Amino acid sequence: MNTIDTIAVCSRSFSLNEILRQELLQRYKNVTFNDEGTKLEGEVLVDFLRGHSKAITALEVIDDSVLAKLSGLGVISKYGVGLDMIDMDAMRNHGVRLGWKGGVNRRSVSELVISFAIALLRHVMAANREVLSGIWRQHMGGYLSGRTVGIIGCGHIGKDLVQMLQPFGCPILVNDIQDYSDFYEQYGVQAVSIEDLLAQADVVTLHVPLDGSTRNILTAERLALMKTEAILINAARGGLVDEEALKVMLKEGQLAAAAFDVFAVEPPQDTELLELPNFIVTPHIGGSAREAILAMGRAAIEGLDNNNPV
């Protein structure tokens, strides 16, 4: 057991998980958990982290204004895979090391995406709403099997999704800034431009991080390239899609349906979008499977010791 380092666990879900708590306490003696379930931001976050040498963070914003007040903090280990909440320049400037492992929640996200696709194609949510309101009528849906799926971003989750889609016999188009030629050849995947992907795919799903190159990657102009019968899924990061343009397209029948687990502002405030019958919304649950929580938590624990300069 480490009796020197002091650990701050910002994440509420980590703090609530008894297995992760015990595994962390077996390695470190001095741990402060977010047992109050407080949303940590700004000065509240600084106060929580102050006096600790290492921290496990999740959706907390770690930037220069925070790190400048925490001279004793040497390591931040990420609980989860997204790094858009962490200012890497600030980490580098303050000499704070990063513990991070990519892809630990990939199966959790991939399964959610497939459940979204099937639910949208079979009108599951719309049918459910109608039955609850007293309307009993059959909706004519369609298969996921055989439909062309476009995956924007073929990293850990994108690759996992490609593999999971194999039994469905879906032609798969991908767009990524990296060259994964060997993987594409192995699974019969076709790499195309983002414009060609949008124009050809029946199902489009996003799996890129949020940064300067991907913010608003699906503009109104790009969304307009999609087939009217296509569906759009975003279980990656909020801020990738022009949500206002999406709403108009869904209302006017320019796009068949969409499912979003993430939004530019969370929780989302546009009730008009949220209440559309051809829109599924979930509260950022992509990684919220028991198995994924343990995998992310254990990776974060390992990252406290096995970390690197940014």
pLDDT at 238 (0 to 100): 95
SS (H, E, C) the chain: CEEEEEEEECCHHHHHCHHHHHHHHCCEEEEEECCCCCCCCHHHHHHHHCCCCEEEECCCCECHHHHCCCCCCCEEEECCCCCCCECHHHHHHCCCEEECCCCCCHHHHHHHHHHHHHHHHCCHHHHHHHHHCCCCCCCCCCCCCCCCEEEECCCHHHHHHHHHCHHHCCCEEEECCCCCHHHHHHHCCEECCHHHHHHHCCEEEECCCCCCCCCCCECHHHHCCCCCCCEEEECCCCCCECHHHHHHHHHHCCCCEEEECCCCCCCCCCHHHHCCCCEEECCCCCCCCHHHHHHHHHHHHHHHHCCECC
The verdict on whether 284 is a catalytic residue reads yes
Residue 28 pairs in a beta bridge with 2
pLDDT digits (tens, 9 = 90+) for 84-141: 899 999 999 999 999 998 888 899 999 999 999 999 999 999 999 999 999 999 999 9
pLDDT-derived band at 80 (thresholds 50, 70, 90) equals confident
Strand partners for 193: none
Tokens 């019968």 identify what position?
229
Q: What are the boundaries of each domain within the chain?
A: 2-104+289-305, 106-281
Terminal alpha carbon distance of the chain: 27
> Which CATH class name applies to 106-281?
alpha beta
Q: What is the pLDDT of residue 261?
A: 97
Which of 266, 275, 290, 291 is catalytic? The answer is: 266
* Residue recorded with tokens 């431009």: 193
Cβ atoms of 57 and 39 within 8 Å: the answer is no
Rounded average pLDDT over 26-39: 93
**Residue 3 pLDDT more than 80?**
no
| Marked catalytic residue, from 12, 222, 237, 243 | 237
207 compared with 210, residue with greater pLDDT: 207
Q: Is 92 a catalytic residue?
A: no
* Span 2-104+289-305 CATH architecture: 3-Layer(aba) Sandwich (3.40)
Residue 1 above 80 pLDDT?
A: no
Per-residue tokens: 223 = 């969304």
Residue in 21, 284, 298, 302 annotated catalytic:
284
**Do the first three CATH levels of 2-104+289-305 and 106-281 match, i.e. the same topology?**
yes
